[in-house]
Structure formats: structure tokens, C-alpha cells
Amino acid sequence: MYDIIIIGAGTAGLSAAIYGVRAGKKVLVLEAAVYGGQIINTPEIENYPGIKHISGYEFATNLYEQARDLGADVKYEKALSIETQEENKLVKTDSNEYVAKAVILATGAKNRPLGLEKEQELIGRGISYCATCDGGFYRGKVVAVNGGGNTALEDAIFLTSYCSKVYVIHRRDSFRGEEKLLETLKRKDNVEFVLSSVITKLNGTDKLESIIVENKDTKETREIEISGLFIAIGQMPENKDFADVVNLDEKGYIVGEEDCKTNELGVFVAGDTRTKAIRQLATAASDGAIAALAACEYIG
Ligand code: NAP
């Protein structure tokens, strides 16, 4: 029997764990994959207040160890359902069942696919969603990054130091990502921007060989030969398992205001998986604190 079960060991979930155990609660964190969430793949963080420079891996590991050292339990099990049993919540995972007084959903978001034919079968054979994980496999090769946010810009900067050439393909002619990152990328001499363009086809059988890119304004198409395509077109939540418990918006995010409460009494939501305007490391940590303290208040 736990006081609080937190589903997800990313920044929001682990921050919630820290606040929960520091409030004297018995806390269990359930994680389906690895701790750290999305930030673990970020090469360098320099916008988290109070920390000048840190890698995503080091940040996530510090956070994980901090939560563990303070007394949070972490189990690597996939949470499949939440049921209300009188005053308590029963959480069923792929291997166990746990009971708690409150649950915090901090399930984050996963990489959005392009949705093109062959995309799934070419994952690991030219298609990747993580430059820091897979960039090293493309040393000296020609690659492309698709997307216009911070992830795409950071990925492209990272890849320019390994790859002979990096195409940056973005569907608009201006970037969503930070100006500072864009300026850094523009200074690289092995980058080519392919703007106002979308990828319409992936070519290759056993491995990716080329992509077809269409300019949205002129409708002209172009074939670009590449060994690797890093897709960085944002994230999407995965909350189908909890759709019978909490309200989801049309994109699948869990509906919750700044107080991190959901429509279900005793179930809270924190981090990128919550309906919100700004999804940043700082706002994920902030949500974790708010959700944990709201859960503590609910438990009494
Ligand atoms: P994002 O900011 O949502 O950007 C996604 C990009 O992909 C946008 O440029 C978008 O184009 C494009 N896109 C979306 N769907 C597409 C599609 N179907 N086909 C082609 N392009 C598509 O995602 P992100 O870069 O992964 O960042 C997510 C959040 O994490 C953001 O809040 C970001 O600031 C944050 N982040 C921060 C850091 C940092 O601070 N160091 C690092 C990484 C991420 P449009 O621009 O036209 O919409």
C-alpha cells in the first residue's frame, strides 16, 4: 500500500516523487522503459534555472538518484489501468497490482512519426528519432533532420560534428526553435537547409537510401540521397490506457489546469502529458511539485 503512485519517471514524475517523499509519503514510481523521459536524449541543457550547463543524461540521472536517495521506490513495470476501489486507487501493471491513496499521471509524450510508408520497417536501418542515441552510427555519412523545433536544431548541430553533410528539412521557411540554436547551426559549413518542404517518400528496401522532398510552394520534388533520417517533428501523448479514468483532449493530452488536478478525484497529472501551452524542463519539474503537493493535500 502506497500513499502516491506516480506513473512515469521523467522530469515531472521524478520531481513529484521528490516532493511526495519529502512530505513524508510512501511513493512508488512506475516506469515502462528507462528513467529520465525525453530530456535524457538532449546533449546539453542550458535553460534550466540555476544550472548553467548539464547534459540531459546527467540531469536525468541526478534527478533519479535524488528521488531514490530520498526514499522513493521505482519499479520498471508498465502501468495498464487505474481502478477506484472505495477510497483507494488500484493500479494494474504488466506484472503486478498496487494500491495507493492517490495517483499522479506523468506519462510524458513519445516521438511523433511522419506516418510515411516504410517508416516503421526502416527504424534502425536509416530512420531514427534520437540523434544523440544513433548519431554515432552515421559518422562520415550524409544525413537529414526533419523538423523546425529545438529538438531538430539541436539534433542537426550535434550531427554536423559526426556527419559529412546534414540536410535540415522543415515544412515552413522560419523555425520554431530558439534563435541561438539556429545561429549556431547556420555557422556550420556542412549544413543545407531545405525549407518550406515536406518529405513525401522514403526509398530503400533493407536500409534507407534516399528521400523525396516536395517544396510546398512550387510543388517541385527533389530526391536527396541520405544514409540516415532523424525525425524530430514533435511529440504526442500516449494515454489511451487511462482514457476511461481521466478526460483527454482531442490530441490525447490529459485535461488538467495549473493545479494539476484531473476530473477524477485522487488522480493528478503532471508534465508534458497535461494540456498546457509551454512544455519545457522547468514546467515539467514545476508540475511535478504542484501535483505531488496537491496529492498530499488530497490524502490529508
Ligand atoms: P516542437 O517544438 O513541437 O516542434 C516540432 C516541429 O516539427 C515544428 O517545427 C513543426 O513544424 C514540425 N512538425 C510537426 N509536425 C510535423 C509533420 N507532420 N511534418 C513535418 N513537420 C512537422 O517539438 P520539439 O522540437 O521536439 O520540442 C518539444 C518541446 O521540447 C518544445 O517545447 C521545445 O522547446 C522543448 N525542447 C527544449 C529544448 C531545450 O530547451 N534545450 C530541447 C529540445 C526540446 P511547425 O513549426 O510548422 O509547427
Residues 190-216 pLDDT 10s: 999 999 999 999 999 999 999 999 999
Beta strand ranges found along 56-163 (DSSP E): 73-75, 79-85, 88-93, 97-105, 110-111, 127-128, 142-146
Closest ligand 1 atom to 111 CA:
26
Closest ligand 1 atom to 44 CA:
41
Whether pTM > 0.85 for this model: the answer is no
User: Which residues is 100 bridged to in the sheet?
Assistant: 2, 89
| Structure confidence at residue 58 (pLDDT) | 97
Our answer on whether the CB atom of 148 is closer than 6 Å to any ligand 1 atom is yes
155 close to 131: Cβ distance less than 8 angstroms: yes
Our answer on whether the CB atom of 233 is closer than 6 Å to any ligand 1 atom is yes
Contacts 24+ apart (CB under 8 A), 158-161: 158/43, 158/131, 158/132, 159/131, 159/135, 159/230, 160/185, 160/188, 160/190, 160/191
| Structure confidence at residue 114 (pLDDT) | 97
Nearest residue (CA) to ligand 1, atom 36? 150
Distances (CA, A) of 117 to 75, 205, 211, 229, 260: 36, 11, 12, 14, 38
| Structure confidence at residue 216 (pLDDT) | 98
Our answer on whether the CB atom of 105 is closer than 6 Å to any ligand 1 atom is no
Residue 26 alpha carbon to ligand 1 centre in Å: 36
Nearest residue (CA) to ligand 1, atom 2? 149
Our answer on whether the CB atom of 38 is closer than 6 Å to any ligand 1 atom is no
Residue 233 alpha carbon to ligand 1 centre in Å: 5
Domains along the chain with CATH numbers:
2-111+235-299 (3.50.50.60), 127-231 (3.50.50.60)
200: enclosing H helix or E strand:
strand 197-203
Pocket test for ligand 1, best of 214, 233, 278 (most atoms within 8 A of CB): 233
Which positions are catalytic?
Answer: 130, 133-134
Residue 291 alpha carbon to ligand 1 centre in Å: 25
Residues 34-85 pLDDT 10s:
999 989 888 788 889 999 999 999 999 999 999 999 999 999 999 999 999 9
Residue 300 alpha carbon to ligand 1 centre in Å: 39
Please list, in sequence order, all residues whose beta carbon lies within 8 angstroms of the beta carbon of residue 176, skipping any fewer than 6 positions away: 148, 149, 150
Quote the longest CA-to-CA distance of the chain: 63
Residue 111 alpha carbon to ligand 1 centre in Å: 10
Q: Show the low-confidence residues of the chain (pLDDT under 70).
A: none
